[in-house]
Amino acid sequence: MFKCLNVKMFICFCFCVLSFLYFPVLQVSADGSMPEWKIPDLQISIPGLTGFSDPQICTDDKTKMCIPWIGEYIAGIYKYAVGIVGILATVVLMWGGLIWLTAGGNAAHVTEAKTWIGASITGLVLVLCSYMILYEINPDLTRFSPIRMSWPAEEAKKKMSAEQALSSSDVRNIRQIAAKLIIYPRVTFSKKADCPNFHADKSINELASTGLSTACSPNCECIKQVSVDASLLIAIEDLLKNNVVDKIIVTSITTGIHGSTSYHYTGKAIDIVVASQYRDAVVKELNQKFYAMCDKGGDKVPCDEADHIHFRIN
């Protein structure tokens, strides 16, 4: 009776925990172009699991989202469990050794010690070889494939294009500003790419051509088209017009490797490089309309230590 009740309670508990990840929250964005996902926030943290990745469009089916949370959760538990089992096996091994040392020739105690030691070694080998065992049974058991979830039909038809949310005048305005910056004498756009073939120069030329720019992700999936806030491009021109700086190198618009929630990937941030003597003045000027900071590796640092300036929409 009690055993059956305990089994039922355990199943209910597992369902409640896993349903938290199996049924992610999907919110349709205001512009109707891209769903917004509420990433799970674990109430009990797992050491080594720093967080969940953002869902990405499945590369083989653009109408589905691939959600990696379950795989990342199980992988985190497995890695943590291996460490725990290793510690327990060591403790049991030491306990067996202690029994053997204090056996005093007692055959029964020696046998007990051998049992403890044998059990600890067997358990440790099983855990450490579990990956190989599972792979031999079925390789798919070692691959935590993401869950594939269809978008709402009307959203899938829009193919994530931000163009649906832009009027023709908006597109024309962005194209004109981008085209003007391309030929501006004191601004250059970097062709250095964190993600192969996707760099600031490509972004500005796309904006000048279509009004949209390809946005990448932290793992260099560059498939989404986004609009860039025109005020960011205008700010670059204003810095030069007002002689705040002598020249500007734009290093990132919607591409590059940034944090998963980076403003770059939604067309709301730009990275620039200016000579060190101008950095403080540029940041001060940009902070009048935007949030700007001297940046190094994604961290805010004193301007004399920075390698670029990051500014974004407030």
pLDDT tens figures, 66-80 = 888 888 888 888 888
Q: How many whole angstroms separate alpha carbon 267 and alpha carbon 203? A: 10
Asked whether residue 1 is assigned to any structural domain, the reply reads: no
Look up the domain containing 110 and give its range.
Answer: 17-160
Asked whether residue 5 is assigned to any structural domain, the reply reads: no
120 and 213 housed in the same domain: no
Which of the residue ranges 38-47, 87-96, 201-210 would you say has the lowest mean pLDDT? 38-47
Q: How many whole angstroms separate alpha carbon 39 and alpha carbon 174? A: 32
pTM of the predicted model, to two decimals?
0.50
The pLDDT of 47-67, averaged and rounded, is 75
147 and 240 housed in the same domain: no
79 and 187 housed in the same domain: no
93 and 136 housed in the same domain: yes
Question: What's the DSSP call for residue 152?
Answer: P
Q: How many whole angstroms separate alpha carbon 22 and alpha carbon 9? A: 19
pLDDT, averaged across the chain: 80
Q: Identity (one letter) of the amino acid at 154?
A: E
Which of the residue ranges 144-158, 197-211, 213-227, 240-254 would you say has the lowest mean pLDDT? 144-158
The pLDDT of 163-170, averaged and rounded, is 54
115's enclosing H/E stretch is: helix 107-128
Asked whether residue 2 is assigned to any structural domain, the reply reads: no
Asked whether residue 3 is assigned to any structural domain, the reply reads: no
Domain boundary among 137, 160, 183: 160
53 and 92 housed in the same domain: yes
Domain boundary among 134, 160, 186: 160
296's enclosing H/E stretch is: strand 291-296
Regarding predicted confidence, which is higher, 219 or 293?
293
Task: Order the strands of the 61-67 sheet from edge to edge.
Answer: 56-58, 61-67, 147-150
153 and 72 housed in the same domain: yes
Taking CB atoms within 8 Å and a gap of at least 24, the contacts of 158-162 are: 158/32, 158/33, 159/62, 160/33, 160/34, 160/57, 160/62, 160/224, 160/225, 161/33, 161/212, 161/225, 162/31, 162/33, 162/34, 162/212, 162/225, 162/226, 162/227, 162/267
How distant is the alpha carbon of residue 70 from its chain centre?
Answer: 15
Q: How many whole angstroms separate alpha carbon 98 and alpha carbon 132? A: 32
Task: Write the CATH number for 214.
Answer: 3.30.1380
Asked whether residue 9 is assigned to any structural domain, the reply reads: no
> 170: left (phi > 0), else alpha (psi -120 to 50), else beta?
alpha
42 and 63 housed in the same domain: yes
| pLDDT tens per residue, range 213-253 | 999 888 888 888 898 999 999 999 999 999 999 999 999 99
The pLDDT of 21-38, averaged and rounded, is 49
pLDDT score for 160: 46
Asked whether residue 224 is assigned to any structural domain, the reply reads: yes
Q: How confident is the model at residue 168 (pLDDT cuts 50, 70, 90)?
A: low
84 and 221 housed in the same domain: no
176 and 261 housed in the same domain: yes
155 and 196 housed in the same domain: no
Q: Identity (one letter) of the amino acid at 200?
A: A
pLDDT score for 169: 60
Neighbours of 312 (CB within 10 A): 19
Judging by DSSP bridges, how do beta strands 291-296 and 308-312 pair with one another? antiparallel
pLDDT score for 25: 46
pLDDT score for 35: 55
How many domains, the chain?
A: 2
Q: How confident is the model at residue 15 (pLDDT cuts 50, 70, 90)?
A: very low
Regarding predicted confidence, which is higher, 290 or 43?
290
Percentage of the chain with pLDDT > 90?
Answer: 37
pLDDT score for 66: 82
Q: Compute φ and ψ for 82, nearest 5 degrees.
A: -60, -40
Asked whether residue 8 is assigned to any structural domain, the reply reads: no
22 and 143 housed in the same domain: yes
Is residue 309 within 8 Å of 283, Cβ to Cβ? yes
Neighbours of 242 (CB within 10 A): 9
Asked whether residue 7 is assigned to any structural domain, the reply reads: no
Domain boundary among 160, 185, 220: 160
124 and 201 housed in the same domain: no
The pLDDT of 3-8, averaged and rounded, is 45
Residue 12, pLDDT > 60, answer no
